[in-house]
Amino acid sequence: MEVSLDTIVAWAKRRGFAYPGSDIYGGLANAWDLGPYGVEIKRNIENAWWKAFVQERDDIIGLDSQILMNSKVWEASGHVGGFSDPLVDCKKCKSRERADKLIEDAIFAFKSKDESKVAEIEQKYGSLTPEAWTFDQQFDFLNTYQIKCPKCGKCDWTEPKKFNLMFKTEQGIVEGEGKEIYLRPETAQGIFVNFKNILDTTRSRIPFGVAQIGKAFRNEITPGNFMFRVREFYQMEIEYFVENNEEKGLAAFEAWKAASKKRWKEEIGIAEDKMRFRDHDKDELSFYSKGTCDVEYLFPRGWGELQGIAYRTDYDLTQHMKFSGKDLQYNDPYTGKRYVPHCVEPSWGLTRAILTALIDAYTEEKYTDGNGAEQTRTVARFHKNIAPVKFAIIPLLKKDAAMVEFAENLYKKLSKTYMCEFDDSGNIGKCYRRQDEIGTPYCITIDHQTMEDGTVTIRDRDSMEQKRIKTEDITL
């Protein structure tokens, strides 16, 4: 079903998935707080991820490193000098845009209107990936195709210049005399700087991985599209270390692509036809990367990255060896060889995963009710793993003390294992509609028959079928 982002934003706010940040003060542009159901989705995605990769695999361990790190980390990683986007200013209205994103949007629009133009662009600039073009090429494109400013509609751009995306702050108690430090723009570097600690304190043997979930901050030039591009977001990242040879590195890279596909499809339940795995062309690769793949989802405005998988060779560890002066080589206990391991980095955007889960689940559908009348309902078809509430427990009559007590006891029992909701508003139709809208897979109703034989009615969110079952048989 085609759904607009405006519909998703309105539903997310109405149903408590996400609220505009600092709402009562008029908000803070492009900041979103996760509401009671949004935070459940987040926890479900991260817990399932942690379970699949850290708990169930014996070759990956977890870490939780700091957001604030020594500034040398970012010099070594290349973020201080290079972590930048091409910024263009509209000379007319002074708005700031990302040249590559303006170009991407223009190419996306040409694709549906004028395929020959798309072929012409590819021929002229060497690819359809503006990130891989030079600043001169980007500037030439903006002028040749008269790309207009989204704010004022004029085409009068400054030449692209580099804009560093890291947020700076000061550490220290005296204003102006503190040390300049950065909020981390990715979680991954915390893993590299702990590589030696991990080797010294665990029995990890190559190949092994280190996983981390946490916040990252980027001073994005053009945030927007709801939670797609925000300045404060969550990532789930793994650095998977392998021997220092390309064959092993490429094999791990392919294995991570396969594991990622399984994760998105089977465990988060994202529609397969809306996902694609896009390998970067040679000219798109960073100089140190031997392979990069973007996992993309078809968002309402077009394809967008959900996860990056990159074979980064020994670049990061080597850089940290140079800048820290510490030996970060691995001592192979079996062969006696010492070397700097290669690594593959699968990096998931958790905030974007939440957005994807919302978009993918949202459905409006028609159905015929018990009286033969046509009705419309909004139903969030979340994968059961992801649904914020698993069971809603509903006493049919809120004035019937025995029914309410039975329902309360059932809630107490089930909520030890599952996130449940107790709903004694007394209007069963309204309860079902509300639970459908937040994507609760099952509604359990306590009714007259429950009082006689202890069975309950269980209603399936997707089929709307109702069955009578014993309470002992309730499972997800």
Binding site for ligand ATP (CB under 6 A): 186, 218, 220, 229-230, 233, 235, 305-308, 347, 349, 351-352
CB of 83 to ligand ATP, least distance (A): 9
CB of 43 to ligand ATP, least distance (A): 18
Distance from C-alpha of 256 to C-alpha of 375, rounded to nearest angstrom: 44
CB of 213 to ligand ATP, least distance (A): 12
Torsion angle in degrees (nearest 10) through CA of 469, 472, 473, 476: 120
When the beta carbons of 89 and 305 are compared against ligand ATP, the nearer one is 305
CB of 189 to ligand ATP, least distance (A): 12
Closest residue to ligand ATP: CB criterion: 349
Nearby residues of 345 by Cβ (< 8 Å), 6 or more positions away: 188, 237, 238, 239, 240, 308, 309, 310, 311, 312
When the beta carbons of 230 and 387 are compared against ligand ATP, the nearer one is 230
CB of 307 to ligand ATP, least distance (A): 5
When the beta carbons of 98 and 381 are compared against ligand ATP, the nearer one is 98
When the beta carbons of 238 and 444 are compared against ligand ATP, the nearer one is 238
CB of 16 to ligand ATP, least distance (A): 21
When the beta carbons of 49 and 233 are compared against ligand ATP, the nearer one is 233
- In sequence order, what are the beta bridge partners of 393? 422, 444
Tokens of 16: 């408590």
When the beta carbons of 69 and 397 are compared against ligand ATP, the nearer one is 69
When the beta carbons of 329 and 351 are compared against ligand ATP, the nearer one is 351
Among left, alpha and beta (phi > 0; psi -120 to 50; other), residue 96 is beta
CB of 162 to ligand ATP, least distance (A): 15
- In sequence order, what are the beta bridge partners of 232? 217
Long-range contacts of 380-383 (CB under 8 A, 24+ apart): 380/436, 380/437, 380/438, 380/439, 381/439, 381/461, 381/462, 382/41, 382/269, 382/357, 382/439, 382/441, 383/267, 383/268, 383/269, 383/357
Beta strand pairing call for 391-395 and 442-446 = parallel
Specify the amino acid at residue 360.
Answer: D
CB of 318 to ligand ATP, least distance (A): 20
When the beta carbons of 299 and 362 are compared against ligand ATP, the nearer one is 299
Distance from C-alpha of 160 to C-alpha of 291, rounded to nearest angstrom: 27
When the beta carbons of 126 and 302 are compared against ligand ATP, the nearer one is 302
CB of 115 to ligand ATP, least distance (A): 25
